[in-house]
Chain A
C-alpha cells in the first residue's frame, strides 16, 4: 500500500466522515481525496521534475499539497517554514529540486532571498485552478525527502519510501491501538517525521485529525482537547512539561477523555512522566525512539505498572536493535544499530552518510543499553561524550539529574575546554518562573546525586537553549 491507498481505504470506509480540521475549516475523506486529485492534475505542468519542494505551516492546504504531489508520482521535499536562506539554498542544491510550493506569505519571504533562483508557486492558486482531466500517474517508490534537523552536524537528506511508511504506520496502529474512533490533536509541524507519522496513521485508520499551528500555544492545546473531544494527543516532551507548569488546576479534567498521549524520545523528565501517569485516568503516556532514517523503532507505554520512566521501550514489531561495544554485550552501553523495514536503504546523494548503513544495519550515532527485560535506555549521542580527565560522561545523564531539581525548568550540559582535564562540564540552566535557585544549590544537589567527575565546573543561567522545532538541543551551537 502507498499513502494514497491509505486515503482511498478511508474514503471507501468512512467517506463522509471529517478527515481533517484546521480551525474553522474541515474536509471529509471524500472531499480531501477530490482536492488531492485536483492538485495532482494542476501540477502536471511540473511533470518533468522528479522532486517538488513544499514549504508550509500546518494547514489543510499542506496536506492536500503533500498528498497531491505524491499522487502525481513525484517525491515531496519537505522544508520547515522557519528555514534560513543558507539552509534553503543548500537543501535545494542537494535535492536538485526546481520548484517550491508554498503559501503567499512564505512566497513573499523566499522571494526576497537573493540566492534562491527557482520557481516559487502558491498553493492556494494551484488549488483554485479548474482542471477536470483525469490523469493516471504512477506513484514513485519514494514518498518524501527530509533533511535531518542538524542537531549535531550538517543536514543529511533522508528519503522515505511508501513501504517504509506502510511498515511504520502498521506498527504504530498495532502498538498504540489507533482506530477510526480516535480524534487526534496534532500541534506538531507536519514537515517532520513525528508529525507526518501521525498524519499517516490518521489517514490509514480513518480517524479525524485536528491540526494546530503553534505547539507553544498551551491555552489553545488545552481548549482544543475539550472542544473536539480529543482522544489522542501528540506532543514533544517540552510541551508536556510546560503544560504541567502552565495549568496546575483542572488538568485531570482537560485530559479526562484522553486515551493516549504520544511523545518522542527527546529526553523527557522523569517527573513529567510520573505526573502524567497520575493525570491520565483513562489512558497512557507513551513514547518512542526513532530517527527520520528509522522511524518508530521502539515504543514505550508508561502504564501504571511499569516504573521505567527513563526507558524508550522495547523494539517495534519486526525491528531489530543491537548494541555494539567492546564487550559485545547488549546490557552494557554502546552504539545503537537498527535493522528493519523502517530503515532507509541509502541517503539522498550522500555517499559519505551511506557509510552509516552496512548490511541493512543503520548506525544511529546514539548510545544506549538494554536492561534484562529488553527495555532500551538512551544515553546520548556518541559524538556528544564529554571526556573529563579520561572519564567519559554523557550529557543526558547530567541533564536528567538536574531537571529533577525544583526551580529548574530546563538544562543542557556540554563539554568545555580545560587545561588540566582536557574537558570539564558546563551547564546552561533555565530557571522556572519565579524560581530564586542559585548555583550553589544546584551544585549541592549534584554532589549528592552524581559522581565527582560528573559535577559541572561552570554554571550559567540563560533565557533560552537552542533547540530544533522538535525539542532536540542543537549542541553544535553550544561548543
Chain B
C-alpha cells in the first residue's frame, strides 16, 4: 500500500500527465477546475481513469462528479486506500 507521500506524488504526476502544459510551479492541491485552462469533462474522465488505473480502484459516478480539485480526487483515493 502507498504511504501518503507516495500517494500525493502519484496524484501530482497524474495531473501533469493529463495536463501536459501545467507548470510544476502552477500546481496546487486547492486549485479549482475552473482555474485550469483545459479541465473539461473529458479531462475529468481522464483524471479518474488514471487514478483508477494507478491505485487499482473504481470510483462511483457520484464521486466522479464531485471532483473539482486535485485535493478532491486525493481525498477520494485516500478513502479507498484506507
Contacts and interface: CB of A to CB of B under 8 A. Distances in A.
Contact of A455 (B41, B49, B54, B65): B49
A420 B49 contact: no
Interface in A351-375: none
A452 B46 contact: yes
Given A421-B45, A455-B49, A444 B40 contact: no
Q: Is the interface of A mostly helix, strand, loop or mixed?
A: mixed
Q: Is the interface of B mostly helix, strand, loop or mixed?
A: helix
Contacts of A453: 42
A440 B14 CA distance: 9
Given A420-B61, A452-B42, A453-B42, A444 B49 contact: no
Nearest to B19: A447
Given A420-B61, A447-B18, A447-B20, A455 B46 contact: yes
Contacts of B43: 452
Given A389-B42, A447-B20, A452-B40, A438 B53 contact: yes
Most buried by A among B43, B46, B54: B46
Contacts of B20: 447-448
A255 to B, nearest CB: 39
Nearest to B18: A447
A389 B41 contact: yes
Contacts of A388: 42
Contacts of A459: 53
A457 interface: yes
A453 B41 CA distance: 9
Given A452-B43, A457-B45, A440 B61 contact: no
A96 interface: no
A334 interface: no
Contacts of B50: 440, 443
Contacts of A340: none
Contact of B45 (A439, A440, A448, A455): A455
Interface in A446-471: 447-448, 452-453, 455-459
Contact of A420 (B17, B41, B46, B54): B41
A443 B40 contact: no
Contact of A440 (B40, B41, B48, B54): B54
Contacts of A424: 45
A440 B47 CA distance: 11
A419 interface: yes
A166 to B, nearest CB: 52
27 contacts: A388-B42, A389-B41, A389-B42, A419-B61, A420-B41, A420-B65, A421-B41, A421-B45, A439-B53, A440-B50, A443-B49, A447-B18, A447-B20, A447-B46, A448-B20, A452-B38, A452-B40, A452-B42, A452-B43, A452-B46, A455-B45, A455-B49, A456-B49, A457-B45, A457-B48, A457-B49, A459-B53
Interface of A: 388-389, 419-421, 424, 438-440, 443-444, 447-448, 452-453, 455-459
Given A440-B53, A447-B46, A453-B42, 16 more contacts: A388-B42, A389-B41, A389-B42, A420-B41, A424-B45, A443-B49, A443-B50, A443-B53, A447-B20, A452-B42, A452-B46, A455-B49, A456-B49, A457-B48, A457-B49, A458-B49
